[in-house]
Amino acid sequence: MMFAIRNYAATMCGTILRSFQIRAKHRLLATFDFDNTIIDGDCYEAVGGFLKQPQETTEKLRKLIEERNWMKYMRIVLSLLHQQQDVSITEIVQRVRQLPEVPGMMCLLRQLAKDSSIDMCILSDANSYLITEWLKANQMTNIFTAIFTNPARVCLDGFLQVDPYEHQTHCDQCPENLCKGSVIKSLMNCTNYNFNRIIYVGDSCNDLCPIQSLRQQDVACIRRDAELHDKLPSHIDNIRSQVLIWRDGHELQHQLELNAIL
Ligand SMILES: [Mg+2]
Ligand SMILES: [Zn+2]
């Protein structure tokens, strides 16, 4: 399958898998984070698990983890694995492809994909290469309309090059390479698509900015007992949308049906 990368709104670029279905009314956009939302694990942990390295580098990486600077972390780890440990991209991809789904999530995603009034996309600070490899391994490539993430490609020498999605300076809640909230706002304000409801599903603090950009008619779906859920009480006043809490795909499906969102 070919993935075309092209600009489709003034400020946005992403891996567009097919056109959004342009219809005037009752469109629903379901947006999913990837790590710990679709997959039960993290790409950065899976890749970082290959590291055997001196303490000094570990400290540097630990700081990036503390800062939630996943893209920089991933770039440094990939270059160490490539240059110092001779870990091949095949080994890395194999490990990522084997990461399990959050229980019940693939079933929910496939069910949503059958509904022609719903567009689905992934909005993630991982990268396009590892995400699409996991989707391919699970026969999920046709489910999503678009993937908004850091673009990545394998170079001729087998190195996985990850580039920033953007260089943003306007949002200090998000890393410089990706403000998830501005992606949501661009989709919301794009008159071609006219989504009258947006569902955002995520687990961690880097999902707070997109959730705070949701409107009253939208739905934030926050993973139970995960990072963002724990910090929710201090942010709830800044969230306009309905909030649903879920532990896995089964509970998320139940919550969406219970609240008449599906
Ligand atoms: Mg996540
Ligand atoms: Zn942001």
| 23 and 67 part of one domain | no
| 188 and 232 part of one domain | yes
| 194 and 64 part of one domain | no
Residue 158 CA to ligand 2 centre (angstroms) = 32
Helix (H, G, I), strand (E, B) or coil at 8: strand
pLDDT in tens, 211-244: 999 999 999 999 999 999 999 999 999 999 999 9
Contact assessment for residue 220 and residue 243, using Cβ atoms and an 8 Å cutoff: yes
- What pLDDT is recorded for position 116? 87
- What pLDDT is recorded for position 262? 85
User: Does some domain include residue 122?
Assistant: yes
| 57 and 135 part of one domain | no
Domain boundary among 56, 82, 97: 97
Residue 84 CA to ligand 2 centre (angstroms) = 35
What is this structure's pTM?
A: 0.91
| 130 and 85 part of one domain | no
Splitting the chain (262 residues) into consecutive groups of 10 residues, what average pLDDT does each group show?
33 61 70 98 93 81 90 94 94 97 98 92 96 97 93 96 96 96 92 86 97 97 97 95 98 96 87
| 135 and 251 part of one domain | yes
Instruction: Name the strand (E) or helix (H) holding 65.
Output: helix 55-66
Contact assessment for residue 133 and residue 97, using Cβ atoms and an 8 Å cutoff: yes
| 50 and 139 part of one domain | no
User: Does some domain include residue 161?
Assistant: no
Q: Which letter does DSSP use for residue 35 in this model?
A: B
How far the first Cα of the chain sits from its last, in Å, is 30
State the virtual CA torsion across 34, 64, 243, 190 in degrees, nearest 10: -70
| 80 and 13 part of one domain | no
- What pLDDT is recorded for position 15? 65
User: Does some domain include residue 185?
Assistant: yes
Residue 98 CA to ligand 2 centre (angstroms) = 30
Domain boundary among 97, 126, 141: 97
| 128 and 69 part of one domain | no
**Where in the sequence is the domain holding 79, given as residue range(s)?**
43-97
Bridge partners of residue 118, in order along the sequence: 28
Residue 209 CA to ligand 2 centre (angstroms) = 5
| 92 and 53 part of one domain | yes
Q: Compute the distance between CA of residue 19 and CA of residue 94 in angstroms, rounded to an integer.
A: 30
- What pLDDT is recorded for position 201? 98
| 84 and 137 part of one domain | no
Residue 46 CA to ligand 2 centre (angstroms) = 25
Q: Compute the distance between CA of residue 252 and CA of residue 19 in angstroms, rounded to an integer.
A: 26
> Could you give the number of structural domains in the chain?
2
| 135 and 24 part of one domain | yes
User: Does some domain include residue 250?
Assistant: yes
User: Does some domain include residue 60?
Assistant: yes
Ligand with minimal distance to 37 CA: 1
User: Does some domain include residue 160?
Assistant: no
